[in-house]
Amino acid sequence: MMRRAAFVCLTALSLLLPACMQNEPAPPMGMLMDEPGEVGVVSADLTAAERRVRAGQIRDAAFGAGMEQGWLLAGIADAETRMSHCWRELTWACQGPNSSDCGGGPVVAGAGDGPCADRQGGLGMFQFDAGTFEQTLAREGNRILSIAGNTQAAVDFVANMVVRSAYVPGVENRAQAIAWMNGVRIGNDRWDAWIRTVTHYYNGCAPSYSCFSQRYAHYRDNTTGVYNEMGPDFWVTTRDWGAAYVSQSFPLARDPFPLEAGATHEGYLEMRNTGAQTWRPGEVFLGTTEPRDVASPIAADTWPAPNRAATIDREVPPGGTGRFVFRVRAPDAPGDYPQFFNLVREGVAWFSESGGPVDAQIQIRVTSTAPPPCPGGIGDAWSCEGDDRVRCERGMVFREPCELGCNAGTCNAPATDEDGDGYGSDDCAPGDADVHPGADEICDDGIDQDCDGEDAIDCEGPGDDGGPGDDGGPGDGPRMISGGCSVAHGASGSQLALAFAVVAIGLVIRRRRAGW
């Protein structure tokens, strides 16, 4: 039961005690009796073999969360419910919600908060309690109904209480708390601080309360007892593939993470290698789970595959840390999109099958929101607006000025001098360096060398002197010829036609004589 006597200030006692844990967060519920100073005696239906299996489940789930000394948690579970998680293992208690780990039957629920029909009391072997069953599940999630999930939630809780503990100096975050707990051994300099922290922050009995000595001894003896019952070698955890959470830049799943539909966001997930094998890029990936290998709705086009968010960013030896850096994309349809992940050694093993974490622990939850509307007439494709080109994406208008004007959403490109003759847009033959404005015309080649639109040239034949024509007509100076280059001396059209005919007849006769 979470709300035990240590958290209830009786009127008389409130005058004597300076405080009654008023500023302390509520701890998870245990199976302790309501009377101050009394520790409940819990009858156990687990056999010795079943207790060993349950201790192994706690050890492995704790290791998956980075906690190498799983016996610390097993000691708490043993003190709370004798490590019983299912109601069938502790039938005198109340029945909680059903769990697949209990064969579809109910988990054990605390019996100290009133009649079982009130559906109150802590759930599972670590006795999490936020009020009613529904309130507890709303706070902790359905994960606490499973054995692994109940243990994972316990790791989260004890890490937080170590950070807050007045008996543990120099611990400011989860990673430091996990590292501190991994250094606890029976009888060493951290042992007393651990038992004090559990008694005060987990059970709610502060050193100033009359219950403290008895409950301190209860947690100390159960923790020592379960450690010795299984033996030191049992608690050694070495797995080839294991990881522990360190940090992330993405918002936590419990926090809002709104992202406009179609928008992307880059972040990272940092993990510590708790296994025996080195992680290498291209081998260890962050894969989708729940179910495994599902194509994620928040996958960005930078993912190696729709079910692989990223590979590890560096070689990470055992004990080291590495990051998975990747983008998520908000789906086009507004709504909430939760996505679970786990590490996988491609083609070898999922980490949840070896050293953890469990598949339903790492989560990124994206809330896709509708983007603001675009101004009328502007779409996602480039279009012209005066001399600018514009487009709109998710309500944002992008504008680019076009120095030479806009045409069909494209800025007009400046002319280029492809042939290197020094002329650009006014070059009538951009692929021929000999043709450009101002070039010398060549007679009789049919090419407009100077780009003036005419194949015209000043041609001077024999007798051209610029004076009067031989026939007394106009002078025989040069003339401009359009459409071809020829010698003009004032000859009439009929004279020219006759000359061409004579030349043609001569060519025919010459060919016959030559045998062509």
CATH number at residue 348: 2.60.40.10
> 3-class SS at 54?
helix
The arrangement of strands across the sheet holding 243-248 comes to 243-248, 264-273, 321-329
Is 390 contained in some domain?
Answer: no
Domain boundary among 339, 369, 399: 369
Identify which of 25-29, 306-310, 449-453 has the greatest average pLDDT. 306-310
Residues 231 and 248 in one domain: no
Residues 148 and 36 in one domain: yes
In this prediction, residues 74-98 reach a mean pLDDT of 94
Phi and psi torsions of 78, nearest 5°: -70, -40
The token pair that represents 500 in the structure block? 């061409």
pLDDT at 516 over 70: no
pLDDT at 157 over 50: yes
Residues 471 and 488 in one domain: yes
pLDDT of residue 25: 42
Q: What is the DSSP letter of 281?
A: T
Residues 36 and 105 in one domain: yes
Least confident of 74-83, 154-163, 267-276, 419-428: 419-428
Domain boundary among 204, 235, 266: 235
Q: Between the CA of residue 311 and those of 284, 342, 361, 448, what are the distances in Å?
A: 6, 12, 19, 64
- C-alpha to C-alpha distance for 290 and 508, rounded to whole angstroms: 94
Question: Peptide bond before 207: cis, by omega within 30 degrees of 0?
Answer: no
Phi and psi torsions of 264, nearest 5°: -120, 160
Residues 363 and 477 in one domain: no
pLDDT band at 29 (very low <50, low <70, confident <90, very high): very low
- pTM above 0.75? no
Q: Between the CA of residue 475 and those of 384, 461, 470, 471, 482, what are the distances in Å?
A: 59, 13, 8, 9, 19
Residues 203 and 291 in one domain: no
Is 462 contained in some domain?
Answer: yes
Could you tell me the end-to-end alpha-carbon distance of the chain, in angstroms, rounded to an integer?
122
Residues 272 and 217 in one domain: no
Q: Closest Cα to residue 74, out of 156, 136, 151? A: 151
Token pair 């001098």 is at which residue?
417
The 10 Å CB-count burial string (b at 16+, else e) for 367-377 is ebeebeebeee
Is 273 contained in some domain?
Answer: yes
Residues 110 and 259 in one domain: no
pLDDT of residue 6: 32
Pairing of strands 106-109, 94-98: antiparallel
Helix crossing, 71-81 with 48-64: angle to 10°?
130
Burial (Cβ within 10 Å: 0-12, 13-18, ≥19) of residue 479: middle
The token pair that represents 413 in the structure block? 């490109």
Is 59 contained in some domain?
Answer: yes
Burial (Cβ within 10 Å: 0-12, 13-18, ≥19) of residue 19: exposed
Residues 71 and 39 in one domain: yes
Residues 75 and 98 in one domain: yes
Q: Which residues contact 149 (CB under 8 A, 6 or more apart)?
A: 61, 141, 142, 143, 358, 360
Is 9 contained in some domain?
Answer: yes
Residues 195 and 81 in one domain: yes
pLDDT at 362 over 50: yes
Domain boundary among 341, 369, 397: 369
- Number of domains forming the structure of the chain: 3
Is 429 contained in some domain?
Answer: no
pLDDT at 227 over 90: yes
pLDDT at 472 over 90: no
Q: What is the full DSSP assignment across 137-154?
A: HHHH-GGGGSHHHHHHHH
Residues 198 and 341 in one domain: no
Q: What is the DSSP letter of 399?
A: E
- C-alpha to C-alpha distance for 445 and 512, rounded to whole angstroms: 29
pLDDT of residue 426: 67
pLDDT of residue 468: 52
pLDDT band at 378 (very low <50, low <70, confident <90, very high): confident
Q: What is the DSSP letter of 407?
A: E
Is 54 contained in some domain?
Answer: yes
The 10 Å CB-count burial string (b at 16+, else e) for 67-81 is bbbbbbbbbbbbbbb
The 10 Å CB-count burial string (b at 16+, else e) for 275-285 is bebebeeebbb
Question: Kind and range of the H or E element at 286?
Answer: strand 284-289
Residue 294 lies in domain? 243-369
pLDDT of residue 293: 96
pLDDT at 56 over 80: yes
Least confident of 223-227, 232-236, 309-313, 448-452: 448-452
pLDDT at 353 over 60: yes
In this prediction, residues 127-154 reach a mean pLDDT of 93
pLDDT at 15 over 90: no
- C-alpha to C-alpha distance for 85 and 287, rounded to whole angstroms: 30
Is 363 contained in some domain?
Answer: yes
